[in-house]
Chain A
Amino acid sequence: MSSIVEDKDKALSTVKQKRYWRSLDNLAETPEFKKIVEREFPEGASTLNDPVSRRKFMGIMGASMALAGLASCRRPVQKIVPYVVPPENLVPGMPQYYATSMPHGLSSYGLLVESHEGRPTKIEGNTLHPSTLGSTSAQMQATTLALYDPDRIGAVTLDGAAKTWDDFVKFWRGEFATYKAAGGAGIAILTESHNSPTMAKLAKRWKSKFPKAPWVAYESISDENIYAGIALATGKEYLPSYNYDKADVVLALDSDFLQRDSESITAARGFADGRRVKSVKDSMNRLYVVESMFTLTGGMADHRLRVASSEISAFALALAAELKRQGLTVAGLKAQGPSFSGDKKKWLAALAKDLIKARGKSLVVTGRRQPSHVHALTLAINSALGNIGKTVEYHAAPDAIFPRRDDLSNLVSKMNAGEISTLIIVGGNPVYDAPADTKFADALKKVSNVIRLGHSDDETANVSNWVLPQAHFLESWGDTRSVNGTLAITQPLIDPLYKGRSAIEVVSLVLGGRETPGYELVRGTLRDVIGKINFETGWERTLHDGLLAKSASQPVAVKMKSGALNNYPAGSVSITDSNLEIVFYDGNLHDGRLANVGWLQELPDPVTKLTWDNAALMSPATAHRLGVSNSDVVTLQVDGKSLEAPVWVMPGQADNSIALALGYGRRMAGSVGTAVGVDAGALRTSGTFSFAAGVTVSSTGKTYPLSSSQDHGSMEDRPLIREATLEEYRAAPTFAPDMVETPELESLWSDIKYDTGYQWGMTIDLNVCTGCNACTIACQSENNVPIVGKEQVAKGREMHWLRMDRYFIGDEDDPQMAQQPMACQQCEMAPCEQVCPVAATNHDKEGLNVMVYNRCIGTRYCSNNCPYKVRRFNFFNYTKDTSEVAKMGMNPDVTVRSRGVMEKCTYCTQRISRAKLTAKKDDRQVADGEIVSACQQACPTKAIVFGNINDPNSEVSRIKERNLDYEILAEINTRPRTSYQARLRNPNPELPSKAVEG
């Protein structure tokens, strides 16, 4: 034991010695650095810790954790059935894939996890699962890094003193007897929301064991308003399930359904399926978006209207009135909407006409931010349009534990009244994210015994008595239900690295004072579902598939309750120059639980392109009026709360509406996420939970440096993203390749034909790419791409092999947005290859531009000569200090690059090699679709296709034949292997179309 202590001490002393990153910047005295030093900006003060040194610290902490970590990297002892390769075929070096599911609020995401020698390394989607359909989001991908987070707590503590699980069990047995005798008086449990049959069973048991004890579920970001709206309209809480693929006309009211909504993957897939255009004969759906802040959904819109979130309610009402005017009755609506004039009136009329025309094939969807009555009205409109049962369905959720903010408020009152002596907090981080007016932390002081199950030593753990380490979902057994009721299994890929227990294990322990392994709990539940006969086969099958086949529920028939809309507020809030609003939104870090995941901190926000920070987003006009610009720090005040935040000017933002991302400004997130950005929660009360009007903004005169990964948003009229309307495309089907005249180009060298064997190529369909960043993180996870920290990003040294280029088109205040994934184009005539003095980058016979890291001397000439600027340079040894724990999550098939070498996208050459080897062993050719690159795999809209272009029947070859296909900068004779499909918009001919630039 002493050796562990010694090692830790040694590691900590190294922390002190190895401070040169910091001193580098001290010495460098860059203006940015000076600015940080001079700033009196408490929320961000620790940004002083250059993230690089923060990473270093993490590395050193990790080294001390390695003892714990390495001891745990054995194969799980409980039985898990591999998805693809059965265990007897385990070949060292060959990854295995296991199906599992990730619980997330009331959603469940079915995943397939790649595991190397017992270490999960890569998250992929489970094609069988209805919520992921084989794809993933950036956040799902990043959960592997959260698993290997060296800042997770590794031991049970009581008031800071080390204890064991046995100590806790012993302690709880005593408490349990007392509370059980009292019928649960004095005890309460606070959990996250769950949609798990086992958890639901436990909740039922809680009610019978402790009838007087409340079970409170709270989520900082959830669909609570939607459920409440559905309940308001129909009398019961249902989960909505949208079929975007069946919708010809979609209206999104303040909804980012393509990116941040709970079921964004299915939404994006369905939406893309309704939008994909293969030839002039195809049609595509039309998307109207009404929103306050620019979202990716707004970027995909054919028509976008900037409306403050506070005004959406009135807008929905006006829409209902307009529908009524055009002959469609929205049942139960009494209130009259505001009457619009001018363009807005025309817009509304055209929209209503379009919706009515597409009756039964249209869809109105409202975002989770909007209050329940708007959701009730949305349901009424969808019902009137005949969409229910077609484009939108509702499912009962018998196993759901719904999140309820009111319950939390009640709990806090009870705590303040001294009625609660023991509070059990299972997951979540209420001290950080509970509404500010509840003063949860203060109330917690009145509870004598706080028991907290959580991942890290965060804000809540810090004020709890018993702190219990929580197992990550990749370490634990569980079960989840997806929106449509499909039952999925969560199975562990690895033994808990930090002695954690899962939520169900702890709740079960709390309920009986007895330890039951999660495995038994889940099997018990499944036994009830599958039945005792054939249970073992059914269980194996479920583990193998990751879900229980045919467990989806039938959609329920909903009916509008009479009088549901009686109380719809007729008066409208106007957001004006003197009445600003603030909108809280769900950014890369979600509610802050992902704050310590470096990948997500460094992932540029898909719209603002900010990394390592959140900022008060405002429109250019508003910023101009307030006299502030990027990086100026302002004080935001609303409802008696105030917060200082830096400004970021966002074109497309509704005027006088300020958006601020949640999840930042964590006070105790760990070595990566602590004090990154500002805590929007400081402004957020029960009354201003989603958005609020009456904000005052005052300038502080201070500035704060923000790191954005893309400084220039205009395409400068260059034909990079080629775009046309559907009409234009039909009139000129080859507009995309024709946009640039490419004469017959000759090469100085004798041309290589590349016409034998495999020739790899890729296509990216810009018409369905939403820009969600899932590919970027998938690539980062697959290819061991390092993070570099805020200062390095500010210097322009981010390492993402696949980046998302975001351009604005048109008017500065109200532009359109377009996204373009950009990675190595694998040019056949690669400019990089010709200039490398040591021939470190070369072409292989399959057309890949390959990088020989060992040969690279780092002249960076290749990067200068790359017209796409997709090459990434290791300016420092960015991977040197990766913690031992985080190393476990690295892909062993990909070299980790050191200082001074260039790197870039390889088309996942390791996946190509593996497929080729497998095919060779079977004495066959690699089949089309057998190789799936990491980005392609993650893409929710299937915009990316990879394959052999030498095979005319491969999917990629057939896509390249389409007339929308074009290559970027083909005119300079690079002959890229990646081509793009032009982007189309489908504007309503009755509405003025914005200028579409080429």
Chain B
Amino acid sequence: MSTAAAKKETIPLDAPLVLGNPSFSDLSETIGGITEKKAPVQWFLLVGFFASLALLFAGSVGYLFWEGVGIWGLNVPVAWGWAIVNFVWWVGIGHAGTLISAILFLFRQRWRTAINRFAEAMTIFAVICALLFPMIHVGRVWVVYWTLPFPNQMMMWPNFRSPLLWDVFAVSTYFTVSLLFWYVGMIPDLATLRDRATTKVRKVMLGIFSLGWRGSNKQWKHYERAYLILAALATPLVLSVHSVVSFDFAVSQLPGWHTTIFPPYFVAGAIFSGFAMVMTLAIVARKIYKLENIITINHLDVMNKIMLATSLMVGYAYSCEFFVAWYSGNEFEQFAFINRATGPYAWAYWIMITCNVFIPQFLWSQRIRRSIPFMFVITIFINIGMWFERFVIVVSSLANDFLPSSWAYYTPSMWDVMTYIGTFGVFFTLFLLFLRFLPMVAISEVKGVLPAANPHYRGPVSSGGQS
């Protein structure tokens, strides 16, 4: 574990991506074994807990459907509250997966192999949580499908000028491509699991989902081509989905929303929060499942650097907004931002600034970047800070807009809170099921970055594993 790199305080460019020099079968055993062995008691406890939270979500939503959105703390002018905040937050979290998979893949960042599966799964589940909110937050949920363009007897199309409609397209496209990308990437691993399967059920199920993968050269060739194409398709989506989400705000005329900086600002924020959430989950999972050799401290260090970079980006965006407000000479705009920092929601604003701008500055220190407890705490702060960023944008802009007569303070109800907590239940239940039943690390890809995968590799196999 104690590598030379850590002592030297710098990471050599050729530092091994997987530590402990496992063999191919060690890897299959480590990762595949998790899905085959009996789950630990902790897993059952956790699933029990989070599934209860998911039930809380179901209950809250059931009551919401029964009574109407009045059970939330919404009012006029703050007609969007936690539901939309949560939506944007979850979508942002859902960013890291595809970014790690697709963009880092295209940039040949081989260290991504340790975390990409994990991050993609997180993306899928986060986007599921995100998608729930726009669907349940409408007043008449039974006709929410009218937002989809489909031929109907009313001869009515949705309004293509509405950013909410673009959202429907952007998020559903992102979800579809992410799901596809995740699944395609998983096929070789599913086949590995299939080959290791001992029970009939596993054989059949994994047989079906591995789509007849044999690992032949030709299949690998097609597979890698397909993966590359999907990565290329997914890459613009990483940028587009949050840009489009930001249009919900940027396209409106509300001071504090109506600003052209939003698309890049939202994307940077999304990457920021996505990485933070990947880190939070990865730190826990690598500990529990003893994957320290695969998700190494070097990986975490690199991710920390990305978080630091994106923190600076969002920090820049925050200050840029103020500059533009001042520079525009628009009194409503100016008020909106001064009010953000000093008005009734100043507390939320300063939580945001502290969590997103100040605290990540610790990551300049390599010691902190490589300290698990420190970075874990920082990622939690970032998760909180990014939620508050969305809260500040959505609520503080709405609460104090053009006409002071309609200004009002927004207070969430217990149903807002329960629905939000409930989505954690949904998210972690899905995530725990993923950890239990699917390979959480891309076995085939990690094998590809093992020293043993190098045709010129002649090194000793120290722990007696076979290749």
Contacts and interface: CB of A to CB of B under 8 A. Distances in A.
A535 B156 CA distance: 63
A858 B140 contact: yes
B325 to A, nearest CB: 15
A29, A861, A872, most chain B CB atoms within 10 A: A861
A865 B250 CA distance: 11
Interface stretch (A69-77, A320-328, A708-716, A939-947): A708-716
A417 B279 CA distance: 89
Contact of A863 (B76, B147, B251): B76
Contacts of B326: none
Given A30-B411, A839-B159, 15 more contacts: A711-B408, A718-B403, A797-B75, A834-B161, A835-B164, A839-B156, A839-B157, A855-B156, A860-B139, A861-B248, A863-B77, A869-B402, A873-B76, A874-B68, A902-B139
B69 interface: yes
A835 B158 CA distance: 11
If over half of B's interface residues share one DSSP class (helix, strand or loop), that class is named, otherwise mixed; here it is: loop
A837 B158 contact: yes
B405 A806 contact: yes
A867 interface: yes
Contacts of A284: none
Contacts of B162: 834-837, 839, 861
Instruction: Give the size range of B's interface with the partner.
Output: 35 or more
A855 to B, nearest CB: 7
A527 B411 CA distance: 65
Contacts of B71: 24, 28
B73, B139, B331, most chain A CB atoms within 10 A: B139
Contacts of A867: 253-254, 401-403
A669 to B, nearest CB: 26
Interface string B154-197: 00111101111100100000000000000000000000000000
B6 interface: no
Contact of B413 (A20, A28, A837, A865): A28
A837 B75 contact: no
Contact of B402 (A856, A875, A969): A969
Interface of A: 20, 24, 27-31, 710-718, 720, 749, 792, 795-797, 803, 805-807, 820, 822, 831, 834-839, 855-861, 863-865, 867-869, 871-877, 899-902, 969, 972
If over half of A's interface residues share one DSSP class (helix, strand or loop), that class is named, otherwise mixed; here it is: loop
B67 A20 contact: yes
Contacts of B68: 874-877, 899-900
Given A831-B253, A858-B138, A860-B79, A868 B158 contact: no
Nearest to B139: A858
A712 B67 CA distance: 30
Given A24-B67, A838-B147, A795 B73 contact: yes
A858 B69 contact: yes
25 contacts: A30-B411, A712-B404, A713-B404, A718-B402, A806-B405, A807-B405, A835-B163, A835-B164, A839-B158, A839-B159, A857-B147, A859-B137, A861-B80, A861-B248, A863-B77, A865-B254, A867-B253, A867-B401, A871-B76, A875-B69, A875-B139, A900-B69, A900-B140, A902-B139, A972-B253
Nearest to B411: A30
A867 B254 CA distance: 7
Nearest to A839: B159
A872 B70 CA distance: 13
Contacts of B43: none
B159 A836 contact: yes
Contacts of A857: 138-140, 143-144, 146-147
Contacts of B414: 27-29
Contact of A864 (B67, B69, B80): B80
A710 B404 CA distance: 9
Nearest to A798: B76
Interface string B239-282: 00000000010011110000000000000000000000000000
A869 B76 contact: yes
B73 A868 contact: no
A667 to B, nearest CB: 31
A716 B80 contact: no
Nearest to A859: B138
B335 A716 contact: yes
A667 B31 CA distance: 74
Interface in B48-98: 67-71, 73-80
Contacts of B146: 838, 855, 857
B406 interface: yes
Contacts of A717: 331
Given A855-B146, A900-B138, A712 B407 contact: yes
A874 B408 CA distance: 17
Nearest to B166: A837
Contacts of B138: 857-859, 900
A391 B162 CA distance: 59
Interface of B: 67-71, 73-80, 137-141, 143-144, 146-147, 156-159, 161-165, 168, 248, 251-254, 331-332, 335, 398, 401-409, 411, 413-415
A710 B253 contact: no
Contacts of A710: 405-406
B408 A861 contact: no
A710 B76 CA distance: 11
A807 B404 contact: yes
Given A831-B253, A867-B253, A805 B413 contact: no
Contacts of B411: 30-31
A856 B159 CA distance: 12
Give 8 nearest A-B pairs by CB, closest first: A858-B139, A900-B139, A796-B75, A875-B70, A860-B79, A805-B405, A869-B406, A900-B140
B252 A869 contact: no
A28 B413 CA distance: 6
Contacts of A901: 139-140
B163 to A, nearest CB: 7
Contacts of A713: 404
Nearest to B407: A712
Given A27-B414, A796-B76, A835-B162, A714 B404 contact: yes
Nearest to A788: B70
Contact of A837 (B80, B141, B165, B398): B165
Contacts of A859: 137-139, 164
Contacts of B407: 711-712
Contacts of B75: 795-797
B95 to A, nearest CB: 23
A718 B139 contact: no
A864 B159 contact: no
B139 A873 contact: yes
A718 B331 contact: yes
A717 B332 CA distance: 10
A839 B147 CA distance: 9
Contacts of B156: 838-839, 855
Contacts of A714: 404
Nearest to A974: B253
B403 A856 contact: no
B406 to A, nearest CB: 4
A267 B328 CA distance: 47
Contacts of B79: 860-861, 863-864, 873
A558 B67 CA distance: 66
B253 A837 contact: no
Contacts of B76: 796-797, 863, 869, 871-873
Contact of B168 (A797, A835, A837): A837
B139 A837 contact: no
Contact of B252 (A720, A831, A877): A831
B337 to A, nearest CB: 14
A715 B74 CA distance: 24
Contact of A865 (B73, B141, B252, B404): B252
A874 B70 CA distance: 8
Contacts of B165: 837
A865 B73 CA distance: 19
B405 A874 contact: no
Given A835-B163, A861-B162, A868 B403 contact: yes
